[in-house]
Structure 1
Amino acid sequence: MIKGFCKVGMIENARKVFDEMMCGPNLITCNTLINGYCKKGDMENARIFLCRMVESKDCLPDTVTYSTLIDGYCKKGEFNEAMKWMDGMLIRGCKPNLWTYNAIIYGLCLRGNVDEARRLLTKMRLNGVKENVATHLSILKGLSVAGKSEEAIGYFNEMIRKGMKLDAKEYGVVIIAYCKMRRPDEAISLLKEMQVRGISRGVGSFNAVLRILVEIGELDKAVLLLKQVKNMGCLPNLVSYSTVICGLCRSQGRMQEVGDLVDDMLQDGFEMDATLYSCLVSGFCEASNEEMAMRAFNDSINKNYVINVQSFSFFVNLMCEKGRFIEAEQIFKDMCRRCSLVDVDSYQRILDDQLHKHQGR
């Protein structure tokens, strides 16, 4: 029962069962409860429970107990606390195992101390503990987080040369590293390599590549990749579509493609949101297409979405340039009536400024 409650995060129920046990607890039961506290992020109760184990001497903590606590502290970013308990387990004669070392290496990498993590990797080998892929994944992530993308790529290639069985997590780190270096072609090559190796790819990796393609102006490649995502064993999400659609809206002469992608997005079951409506309004205004801009604006109002201030400014400016002052004022009134505007004054000021500029009032 204790294990079951801990598994579903019902740690209070698990503790109640523990306290009501007729027989004395064994080490497995105690470790299960501490693990439950740690998974919930309740490190204080986990610490208190371990301290009571030490004090009672009925059920002394072992390497698993300490490693559980150390891992919990590292995952919460409380590395100094983790090291205190690492020292404590050594004093009490408990030898660190793979889990212990992996937790500390993860904690070091989280702090950007990749060199120290590598030294610890050497130490654990000397102590007869063989590392696993998780050990190297922490270092790989650490290099990427520390901005050492080139080193991360080299480390990843070394892992492949050593015949390690890598999955989406390792590939994902390197794909992000390539994106940080603005090298989307290599990132796309890795996505294709994953497909060949039968490794499932999360949509987040595709979105990272789509984002960098849009940022560097490679819109044709972004559109092509978005259309290929399904054939590569993954499904695009709203972020995928939004990234490319908004990129096209900011580029001149591509609103027809925007319409096609919006149709694809709707067919895939995704709905327009405030960000997409803002992009559409801005894009149509940039193309001087006030009819389509007004249609997109009205659609957003009907769905209770508020376009951003910048898009509203583009819209009002275009409508005033076309002499459609009354319609500009009316759509603003509709927006105020139908939608929850957080900053009405900013929108009102934009409207007043444009009317004054074009009408002199």
Structure 2
Amino acid sequence: MFIRSRSFTPLISPKRSNFSLSKFGLFSTFASSAEKLMTHLQKNESKVEKSLDRVKIKLNTACINEVLQRCSVDKPQMGLRFFIWAGLQPKYRHSAYMYGQACKLLEIKQKPHIISDVIEAYRMENCAVSVKMFKVLLYLCREAKDANLGLRVLRKMKEFNCRPDTTAYNVVIAMFCEKREVDEAMKLMEEMGLIDLYPDMMTYVAVLKGLSDIGRLEDACRLVKAMKGHGCVPNAVVYSILLDGICRFGSLERAMEMLGEMEKESGNSKPNLVTYTAVVQRFCEMGQSMDALRILDQMREFGCKPNKTTMSVLIKGLCVEGRIEEAYKVIDKVAGESVSYDECYSSLVLSLLQIGKLEEAEKVFRMILVQGLRPDGAASSTVLRQLCLVGRWLDAFRLCEGIENSGNVSIDADIYSILLAGLCQEKNLVVAAKLAKLMVERGVQLQAPYVDDVVKHLKNSDEEELVSKISRISS
């Protein structure tokens, strides 16, 4: 039972030289590949894809990036067609990073007409266009966060006899939901059914999140029922999205009911640690920490144990509302089960400091040390920093000693320097010498901004030995 008390060269050889040349050749490979691709592009600007198909080059991110950079200045349309072609090659696939680079280099967000121009060029040249090519364009629209452009691209697919698939619709639907234009997204979802396509889990999740984000909870609940009717079983992600909306725009009672319904479900539909923690956090953010305690109780009754994050969120919520005694009570009730006392009380210290209660935080911190517990690095560093900020240098040093004695606790390196400088300014050189010795033992460097000031004070006090120690730990 835990009882709290509050009161580092070899000689140069021909072999090494050959290695260096080989290495240089490796670095030049990307540039030579890009040069070869650019040559084909510039010679055949109107038949880009057929020309590129004759080039036998292994594509990679560096090579594609180089080509895009060269095209971006005055041939962005050619650059875009190259990017689309590259995305269709069997041994290469664009990464999210590469879509971001293409969007930035070709300035698609600022010049969306480039995409329309490329589609028109395909039509004029009677190019063979595939669904995959349109998907590359849609992903670029997503990167540019342009839902209307994405919708225009989707509509253009029919003109090339390309039938949009569920993935293509999902990209556009998600973009409209992110813009909070959920009605447009829902129209597209209904449209899918007219062309024998069916919404999948990604479709439902996007629209549900869109509805929940704007507080249309009844529509969101009806959509969950529709999912079940279409054979798409709601999982914990779906319910968590709905719960988040209920917590923000609904009531505790409805959230409790939803959790109860989830608890009766089977498999992936049951609430998990993430689900419960998200609900606890949302209620705390709304200033309803006492209601969040009821969620914690329901969570534990269901057999789901809270973790450090759950407890940190709850403790902070209680402290922010001034319910510090309740924070102590919840720690006494839960700590030692799935979360350690060290973690809980470290969270309490941080929470108290965040609301400006240094004295109470210091009492809790000293209690942790007396009880033989180990405060975490964040709590240790923060309480020491606060003591330094109010000029309590000796108290900060004594607490620092206690932390060091507790073992395996990492304190931010700059705090040692701040504390040493403060002790020197107060001319408490005996204690400063102890701290300097501790820093030497720990290999903690005295940071540059504090060196001159610390050395000046020590020299004025004829502390040459300590000055020597300081020079050993100066960065």
**TM class by smaller structure:** 0.5 to 0.7
Tell me if structure 2 keeps the 8 A contact 1:179–1:208.
Answer: yes
Q: What is the CA distance between 1:279 and its match in structure 2?
A: 0.5
- Structure 2 match to 1:263: 300
Matched, 1:118 2:155: no
Partner of 1:68: 88
1:279 pairs, out of 294, 304, 314, with 314
The 5 A counterparts of 1:137-156 are 137-156=170-189
- What RMSD, in angstroms, separates the aligned Cα atoms of the two structures? 4.7
Structure 2 counterpart of 1:72, one-letter code: H
Paired with 1:341 and 1:47, the residues of 2 have a C-alpha distance of 42
Q: Do the aligned partners of residues 335 and 107 (structure 1) sit closer, same or farther apart at CA in structure 2, a change above 3 Å counting?
A: farther
Partner of 1:108: 141
Question: Mind listing any 5+ residue stretches in structure 2 that lack a counterpart?
Answer: 1-52, 68-81, 109-113, 390-475
Deviation, structure 1 residue 105: 1.9
Larger Rg: 2
2:167 to 118, 134, 154: 134
* In structure 1, C-alpha distance between the alignment counterparts of 2:370 and 2:99, rounded to whole Å: 48
Unaligned runs of 5+ in 1: 1-29, 50-61, 354-361
Query: In the alignment, which residue of structure 2 is the partner of 1:311?
Result: 351
The question of 1:239 aligning with 2:258 is answered no
**Partner Cα distance (1:92, 1:290) in 2:** 71
Distance 1:145 1:110, change over 3 A: farther
Deviation at 1:326, TM superposition (A): 9.8
Per the alignment, residue 43 of structure 1 pairs with 61
Q: Deviations over 1:235-254 (max 9, x none)?
A: 32222111223445642654
In the alignment, which residue of structure 2 is the partner of 1:181? 214
Letter in 1 for 2:218: D
Contact in 1 for aligned 2:349/2:364 (Cα 8 Å)? no
Q: Is the CA contact (8 Å cut-off) linking 1:279 and 1:311 kept in structure 2?
A: no
Give me the whole-angstrom Cα distance separating, in 2, the residues matched to 1:314 and 1:261.
28
Question: Could you tell me how far apart the structure 1 residues matched to 2:186 and 2:355 are?
Answer: 45
TM-score (norm 2): 0.50
Q: Is 1:228 matched up with 2:261?
A: yes
Code of the aligned partner of 1:245: V
Partner of 1:341: 377
Structure 1 vs Structure 2: percent identity of aligned residues?
Answer: 14
Measured in 2, the distance between the counterparts of 1:165 and 1:130 equals 14
Q: 1:221 to 1:124 in 2, by over 3 A?
A: same
User: Closer, same or farther in 2 for the Cα pair 1:329/1:157, shift >3 Å?
Assistant: same
Deviation, 1:199, is 0.6
Distance in 2, matches of 1:161 and 1:93, equals: 29
Contact 2:201 2:232 in 1 (8 A): yes
Alignment-derived partner of residue 34 in structure 2: none
* Structure 1: distance between partners of 2:356 and 2:314: 15
